[in-house]
């Protein structure tokens, strides 16, 4: 129903942001990472991408400072036994980049550190999201020449291969991930590669 909410930030406190849109105050649940990005923007215009969660006794509006965080949230709540509260706990502990790395490298311990997330749930998140990536994001590159060049880079940089997997966990196709990673130094750290690729795709879209 709502794609995003844009207006003046009138309140920012742990777990909550209120945005004034044409005289109507929208209360949104937010992660600690989103809160950190907007907390210093009091009385300034902000834009939060939204997800509406409807329960029997309430309707909750959840806000995200970036599309990538919203994508990660949707993937998390698709996992059996993971609801919005658990998903927000994970996204409060981990940035989108670190969440993607944890899933792509099967680091369930990093996810289990989130409040309310046990080892079994963390392991299930890794398992179910990796299967979803394998099933839904199996696109091929647009040209064989590009594939050959990128394959060479993958063979010389383990981090580059892991960065590709991390981007696919976030919902990008294999072709999009490879395009975004082209030109990034193969000696960069895994998190630096993912961050740089996400910035490039944000500029494109």
pTM beyond 0.75: no
Residues of the chain with CATH 1.10.8: 144-204
CATH topology (fold) of 144-204: Helicase, Ruva Protein; domain 3 (1.10.8)
pLDDT at 165: 84
pLDDT at 90: 95
pLDDT at 139: 38
Residues of the chain with CATH 2.40.50.140: 4-64
pLDDT at 61: 94
| Residue-by-residue pLDDT tens, the chain, 205 positions | 689 999 999 999 999 999 999 899 999 999 999 999 998 887 889 999 999 998 878 889 999 999 889 998 999 999 989 999 999 999 999 988 888 888 877 889 999 999 989 999 999 999 988 766 444 333 333 333 344 444 444 444 567 888 888 888 887 888 788 888 888 887 888 888 888 888 887 765 5
Residues of the chain with CATH 1.10.150.20: 69-136
pLDDT at 131: 65
In tens, the pLDDT along 166-184 reads 888 887 888 788 888 888 8
pLDDT at 152: 47
For domain 69-136, give its CATH number from 3.30.1490.20, 1.10.150.20, 1.10.260.40, 1.10.3720.10: 1.10.150.20
What is the DSSP code string of the chain? --SEEEEEEEEEETTEEEEEETTEEEEEEE-HHHHHHHTT-TTSEEEEEEEEEE-SS-EEEEEESSHHHHHHHHHHHTSTT--HHHHHHHHHHS-HHHHHHHHHTT-HHHHHTSTT--HHHHHHHHHHHHHHHHHH--PPPS-HHHHHHHHHHHHH-HHHHHHHHHHHHTT--HHHHHHHHTTS-TTS-HHHHHHHHHHHHHHH-
For domain 4-64, give its CATH number from 2.60.40.10, 2.40.50.140, 3.30.420.40, 3.40.50.720: 2.40.50.140
């Amino acid at each position: 129903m709502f794609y995003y909410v844009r207006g003046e930030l009138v309140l920012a406190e742990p777990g909550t942001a209120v945005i004034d849109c044409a005289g109507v105050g929208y209360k949104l649940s937010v992660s600690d990472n989103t809160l950190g990005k907007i907390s210093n923007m009091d009385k300034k215009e902000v834009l939060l991408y939204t997800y509406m969660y409807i329960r029997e006794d309430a309707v909750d509006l959840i806000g995200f400072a970036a599309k990538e965080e919203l994508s990660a949230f949707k993937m998390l709540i698709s996992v059996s036994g993971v609801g919005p509260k658990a998903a927000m706990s994970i996204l409060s502990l981990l940035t989108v980049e670190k969440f993607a790395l944890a899933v792509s490298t099967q680091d369930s311990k990093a996810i289990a550190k989130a409040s309310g997330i046990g080892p079994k749930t963390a392991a299930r998140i890794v398992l179910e999201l990796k299967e979803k990536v394998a099933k839904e994001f199996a696109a091929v590159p647009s040209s064989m020449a590009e594939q050959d060049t990128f394959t060479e880079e993958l063979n010389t940089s383990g981090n580059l291969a892991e960065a590709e997997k991390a981007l696919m966990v976030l919902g990008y196709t294999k072709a999009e991930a490879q395009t975004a990673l082209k030109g990034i130094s193969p000696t960069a750290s895994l998190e630096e590669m993912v961050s740089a690729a996400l910035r490039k795709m944000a500029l494109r879209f």
